[in-house]
Amino acid sequence: MRYTGSMTYKTKRETQARCLPEDWDRLAGDNPYLKRDFLAFVEETEEDYHPVYHMIFGAEGRLDSYFVAFRRRGYNLGMFSPVNLPISVTLIYLPMCVTRSGVVLGELREAVFREIRTIKGFKMVLNLPDGDVDGFAVGLTCSKCILTLRWDSFADYLNSMRSSYRNHYKRILNKSAGLTIRYLEENSAFDDRLYRLYRNVVDRSRVKIETLSKAYFQGSQFRLFAAEYRGEPVGFVQLLENGEELIFEFVGVDYSCNAHIPVYHRMLLEIVDYGLRKGFRTIDFGQTADDTKLKLGCGYTYLYAALHHSNPLVNGICRRFAPFLEYKPLKTRFRVFKEKL
């Protein structure tokens, strides 16, 4: 039994999602990436992923809070700055670059961060909804871009835009008319050609956390479409349907083709069209390429990262320099639509 303030709690750890209690899924709420089946799926597809599931139980034995942690070498702490600062760090994070948090905070919030602080060396909690974390170096991480779908059709969406944006996207549609959008009937059809397109994007990205396996993209829970030019894939998008929310997960692009045909932008417009056709209320467009996604009409939802080191001196340095290392959201306000929505 441990104590935090006036509360007592117990801790337990597991290393396999199949061993987690049923209450785990209940506390996950609408976060599909924290559900036991999904976590087990990632354990199976990602050979280098070795998570530790930390659970916090109240005195009465009921699961109150938890977090998912894994060790990562070579994490670039300076990825949002001009400098490279590779470190070994325990990430409190979900095993793919999505906008969800890897921590669930109940009444024993203080106990969660107390347990995280006991982990030796660097540890970082990513994608927190607020920066209220005592004793940690706190700063903004990549904001997520959310598009609220207020239109009955894709045509209505375009017509609601100011003329400069509407004409821009019509030009993209015209220039990409030679592309064929093909939805995969079976995700087992995700082959080496499509996977190479994903690796193209990973290799060019400055914001890198992990590289997922081909098997991950073959999961049956996803919806995938490919953009093809003259019978060859030049791009793909992976989506996850989550109730009334559509989540844009990952993308692959043939950059040589994209240089003369707007493959990437065409696929983003296809996501909007798909979301409207299928009746989703929101699209989570993720955390990168802000400029492009804000010009689609997305809005920011700010997310925070909390960094701690077990050495008080190092931790103090981290707290001092956090403002220089944090993510800098775009300040430009894009007036995409004719009326304020």
**pLDDT category, 341, cuts 50, 70, 90?**
low
Alpha carbon separation from 241 to 97, 188, 198, 218, 283 (Å, rounded):
17, 18, 20, 15, 10
Task: Give me the phi and psi of 308, to 5 degrees please.
Answer: -145, 150
pLDDT at 81: 85
- For the chain, the average pLDDT equals 93
What is the pLDDT confidence band of residue 329, given thresholds at 50, 70 and 90?
A: confident
The highest-level CATH class for domain 2-143+300-325 is alpha beta
pLDDT score of 1 more than 60:
no
Classify residue 311 by its DSSP letter: S
- Within the chain, which residue ranges are assigned CATH 3.40.630.30? 150-280
Domain at 150-280, CATH homologous superfamily: Gcn5-related N-acetyltransferase (GNAT) (3.40.630.30)
CA atoms within 13 A on the CB side of 151: 20
Closest CA to 67 of 128, 138, 6: 128
**Tens-place pLDDT, residues 73-119:** 988 898 888 888 899 999 999 877 678 999 999 999 999 999 999 99
| Ranges of H-type helices in the chain | 23-28, 36-45, 109-117, 154-159, 163-175, 192-204, 214-217, 255-258, 263-277, 290-294, 312-325
DSSP state letters, 124-166: EEEEES----TTSEEEEEEEEEEEE---SSHHHHHHTB-HHHH
pLDDT digits (tens, 9 = 90+) for 266-290: 999 999 999 999 999 999 998 878 8
Residue 2: per-residue pLDDT: 67
Q: What's the pLDDT score for residue 296?
A: 97
135: left (phi over 0), alpha (psi -120 to 50) or beta: left
175-197 tens-digit pLDDT: 999 999 999 999 999 999 999 99
Tokens of 100: 């969800």
Tell me, what's the pLDDT at 304? 95
How many CA within 13 A on the CB side of residue 46?
A: 19
Q: What confidence tens digit (pLDDT) does each residue in 117-175 have?
A: 999 999 999 999 998 899 999 999 989 999 999 999 999 999 999 999 999 999 999 99
* pTM for this prediction: 0.93
Contact criterion met (CB below 8 Å) for 249 and 238:
yes
In this structure, the strands spanning 86-92 and 122-128 are parallel
The separation between CA 158 and the C-alpha centre of its own chain, rounded to angstroms, equals: 27
**Band of the pLDDT at 331, cuts 50, 70, 90?**
confident
